[in-house]
């Protein structure tokens, strides 16, 4: 057994290693993506000396919209490894480094930046499109943006937050009320504030609340009381995955087709099909046109055409799948007559 002095000495060494790990983490986080101008940089140099010992450059560890200052950043772990700090080799230094990283993360909302950036389905879809048509596929930022729009417009229109065939009612989706209908109105499909409706629908992505059953059925003739009741229960009572209310899904929305909601925003099969097919089509077209050696203008037009066409095809395929699902579900639904009381009984 260790005597008291040996134990104290060992604990002191561990504490010194923890502090050293924290100091090394500080150096890594301070220098970000810069490169050293001197061969030796150590914690003993002090913050000012360390900072002066690195050339300016693009920050890859300390800031930015990527991983930001999150403790989850794999580049931070790699940078520690280059400094000789690893979980197996120097566990105390590793602990100290991550205590430093967690402190910086908590103070600067490093990990929460993920949540703020990707807590919406369209943000997730945008990231997927960005991976599919990255700089190695399309080098021009403007061309990438134009291609992303060509993919996104058909796909987003299939999400169900607006109805492109209903411009006279500010593109109100079928089965949903206007947010600014006249208070107490029996028909909430008419708004008093069309500009605000358009802002909420296209900028905030809000669909509005479902109409009462009778009015919703006027929009959706095959809507049944059971489907309506089930959807209202799903919309307002079900908590979804892990009971957090973040992600939940149903096999039948008001239109009778599958729907997933992420923080209230609907995701449908046609929407997912549009983004997926559009991204794949754009990637293949851009790659083929680059190999063919066409002019930048022809590459731009060809890629955008392929992106839009593939996205529309993906949406159409999703609609066919939805139609098949709705047809399969329809015979299983009770008819309205089953809910009507027979006065002769």
pLDDT in tens, 267-313: 999 999 999 999 999 999 999 999 999 999 999 999 999 999 999 99
Rounded mean pLDDT of 167-181?
95
In a domain, 234, yes or no: yes
In a domain, 178, yes or no: yes
Rounded mean pLDDT of 245-272?
93
* Cross-strand pairs, 54: 36
Class of residue 136 by CB neighbours under 10 A (exposed 0-12, middle 13-18, buried 19+) = exposed
Percent over 70 (pLDDT), the chain = 84
Q: What is the mean pLDDT of the chain?
A: 85
pLDDT at 43: 53
Say whether both 189 and 255 belong to one domain: no
Say whether both 184 and 149 belong to one domain: no
> What's CA 206's distance to the chain center, in Å?
17
Of 144, 177, 211, which residue sits at a domain end? 211
Say whether both 152 and 199 belong to one domain: no
Higher pLDDT, 35 or 128: 128
Class of residue 342 by CB neighbours under 10 A (exposed 0-12, middle 13-18, buried 19+) = exposed
CB neighbourhood size of 140 (10 A):
13
pLDDT at 70: 87
Say whether both 107 and 246 belong to one domain: no
Q: Is the pLDDT of residue 334 over 70?
A: no
Rounded mean pLDDT of 24-40?
65
Report which secondary-structure segment, H or E, holds 247: strand 247-250
The string of DSSP codes covering 265-324 is EEE-HHHHHHHHHHHHHHHHHHHHHHHHT--HHHHHHHHHHHHHHHHHHHHHHHHHHHHH
CB 30, CB 79: distance < 8 Å: no
Q: Is the pLDDT of residue 62 over 60?
A: no
Domain boundaries, position 61: 13-115
Those residues whose C-beta lies under 8 Å from the C-beta of residue 128, and which sit 6 or more positions away, are 275, 279
CB 174, CB 219: distance < 8 Å: yes
Q: Is the pLDDT of residue 174 over 70?
A: yes
pLDDT at 57: 41
Say whether both 273 and 129 belong to one domain: yes
pLDDT at 331: 55
Distance CA 160, CA 172 (A): 9
pLDDT digits (tens, 9 = 90+) for 123-173: 999 999 999 999 899 989 999 999 999 999 999 999 989 999 999 999 999
In a domain, 289, yes or no: yes
pLDDT at 316: 97
CB 176, CB 208: distance < 8 Å: yes
In a domain, 218, yes or no: no
> Considering its fold, how many domains does the chain have in total?
3
pLDDT at 56: 44
Q: Is the pLDDT of residue 51 over 70?
A: no
- Show the tokens assigned to 14: 């561990």
Q: Is the pLDDT of residue 184 over 80?
A: yes
Closest CA to 72 of 31, 100, 102, 94: 102
CA dihedral 7, 10, 12, 17 (to 10 degrees): -160
pLDDT band, very low/low/confident/very high, at 40 (cuts 50, 70, 90):
very low
Distance CA 19, CA 93 (A): 7
Higher pLDDT, 64 or 136: 136
pLDDT band, very low/low/confident/very high, at 36 (cuts 50, 70, 90):
very low
Rounded to a whole number, what is the distance in angstroms from the first to the last CA of the chain? 89
Rounded mean pLDDT of 244-268?
92
Rounded mean pLDDT of 41-49?
51
Question: In the sheet where 259-262 sits, what is the strand order?
Answer: 247-250, 259-262, 265-267
Say whether both 96 and 140 belong to one domain: no
Helix axes 4-31, 91-108, angle to 10 degrees: 50
């Amino acid at each position: 057994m260790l005597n008291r002095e040996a134990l104290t000495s060992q604990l002191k060494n561990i504490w010194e290693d923890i502090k050293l790990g924290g100091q090394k983490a500080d150096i890594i986080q301070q220098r970000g993506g810069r490169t050293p101008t001197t061969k030796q940089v150590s914690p003993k140099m002090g913050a000012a000396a360390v900072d002066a010992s690195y050339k300016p450059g693009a920050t890859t560890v300390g800031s930015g919209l990527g991983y930001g200052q999150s403790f989850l950043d794999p580049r931070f772990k790699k940078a520690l490894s280059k400094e000789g700090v690893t979980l197996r080799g120097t566990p105390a230094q590793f602990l100290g480094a991550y205590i430093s990283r967690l402190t910086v993360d908590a103070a600067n909302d490093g990990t929460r930046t993920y949540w703020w950036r990707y807590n919406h389905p369209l943000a997730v879809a945008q990231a997927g499109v960005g991976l599919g048509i990255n700089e190695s596929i399309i080098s021009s930022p403007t061309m990438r943006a134009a291609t992303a729009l060509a993919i996104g417009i058909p796909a987003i229109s299939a999400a169900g937050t607006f109805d492109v065939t209903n411009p006279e009612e500010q593109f109100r989706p079928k089965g949903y009320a206007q947010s600014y209908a006249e208070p107490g109105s029996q028909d909430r499909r008419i708004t008093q504030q069309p500009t605000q409706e358009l802002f909420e629908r296209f900028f905030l992505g809000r669909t509005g609340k479902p109409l009462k059953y009778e009015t919703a059925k006027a929009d959706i003739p095959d809507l049944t009381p059971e489907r309506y009741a089930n959807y209202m229960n799903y919309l307002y009572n079900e908590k979804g995955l892990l009971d957090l209310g973040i992600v939940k899904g149903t096999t039948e929305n008001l239109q009778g087709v599958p729907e997933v909601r992420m923080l209230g925003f609907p995701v449908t099969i046609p929407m997912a099909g549009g983004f997926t097919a559009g991204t794949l089509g754009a990637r293949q077209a851009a790659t083929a046109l680059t190999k063919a050696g066409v002019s930048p203008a022809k590459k731009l037009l060809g890629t955008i055409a392929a992106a839009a066409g593939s996205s529309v095809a993906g949406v159409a395929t999703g609609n066919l799948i939805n139609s098949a699902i709705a047809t399969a579900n329809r015979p299983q639904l009770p008819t309205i007559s089953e809910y009507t009381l027979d006065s002769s009984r």
